Each structure stands twice: as C-alpha cells, then as structure tokens.
A and B are shown apart, each in its own frame.
Chain A
C-alpha cells in the first residue's frame, strides 16, 4: 500500500475553511484515497473517499490532483467539534488500510 505524508498539526479559526493536505506520490492506479478522523479516545470516523474525481458530501470535500499524487480535504466551515486527528489513507485494493499518525486539527474559537 502507498504511504502518505501529512503535516503533524494545523490550526483553523472557527467558521473558516480547514484545508488539510496529504501527499501520496506512490499511489497506484487502483488505490483509493480515504479520509478518516478520530476524536480523542473514540474510534475513527469515515469522512470521504475518492479515486480520481473530486468528491463532496455533507461533511467535507475531497480534491485530488490530476496526477493523483496529492489530495486536500476541505471542511468548509470548521466548528469546535471538528477538532480531531485527521488521517489520509490510500489503498484498499487488498483490504489493508494503513493508518499513519495523521494531522491534529485544532479549531480555535
């Protein structure tokens, strides 16, 4: 499975958009990009995933570059409850989802 690189931490003001970057330069053609988040001491929560095209759901938007070597998760209007560790994962072709350390997003009032 491809590895990902994420900044260890980011800050965002409440009500502003949070843009979380992820590099996955070794992604293969059949691997998806997934985003999960984990609020302290809870199980991770699925946010969104995509293959090539940009995706949007009620929680977030996922922007994948044309070469698929990087992506950005966008939370359009961050709230205090969005403070969490966000994991970018690529893979799934063999069911094996490998989580890195993720990005700790802190939303400030």
Chain B
C-alpha cells in the first residue's frame, strides 16, 4: 500500500544523545515536511524539503538537522542542542509544487528524552 511511514512509534533517549527519526514515503511525492507537536498545541514546522538535495528551515529549526538524499526519505536528527526534545514528531509529504494539493501525514513518533 502507498503511504508515509514513520518509525519507531515510540522512542526513548538519554539526555545529551543525538537521535534520528525515520520518515519514508512511497507516494512519489516531491515535498516532505517535519513538524513538532507539544501537548495541547498545534503543529510547528521544523524543516521542509521541496526536492531532493534541498531543504529549508521552518519556524523552529534550531537543534534539528535533516537530509534529503533520496526522494523517498527525509530523516530528522534531534541533536543535543535541542533544549526540549520531548515531543510528538510528525512527518508529511505532498506532491504538488503549486501548493494546491493535500499533504499526507505519518502516524508520528513520540520521543521522550530522560
């Protein structure tokens, strides 16, 4: 089935460690996105990529890094520089550069840093 897959669903890490969240899509979408969601809050954009080997910072990029070496994959690294990394992370993809299309979301990764 086509879709967008995030793994793992739950992730625990010790403070000070970098951690990479996986996001894979087989929808042949050009654009991919990473959002962060805190309890009771909306989604905040971390990074987005319109095409392979290119990405832009969103509203809260500090402490995060991404790569887009393949169209299908857009991994997010939460670095030790991120002060409050515990959150629900959502990946999304969309096909159309003109913006008049829907975004498909994964089911999210809940990261807990202890």
Contact = CB atoms under 8 A, between A and B. Distances in A.
B63 interface: no
Interface string B27-48: 0000101010000111111001
B90 A95 contact: no
Contacts of B104: 46
B71 to A, nearest CB: 15
A31 B40 CA distance: 27
Nearest to B99: A92
Given A49-B100, A91-B99, A96 B105 contact: no
B99 A94 contact: yes
Given A44-B90, A87-B42, A95 B99 contact: yes
Contacts of B100: 32, 49, 51, 92
Contacts of B101: 49, 92
Contact of B99 (A36, A42, A93, A98): A93
A45 interface: yes
B97 interface: yes
| Range class of the A interface residue count | 20 to 34
Given A91-B99, A92-B99, A93-B99, A43 B42 contact: no
A45 B97 contact: no
Nearest to B110: A41
A49 B102 contact: yes
Nearest to B88: A41
B5 to A, nearest CB: 11
13 contacts: A31-B99, A32-B99, A42-B108, A43-B92, A43-B105, A43-B107, A43-B108, A44-B43, A44-B105, A95-B50, A97-B45, A99-B44, A101-B40
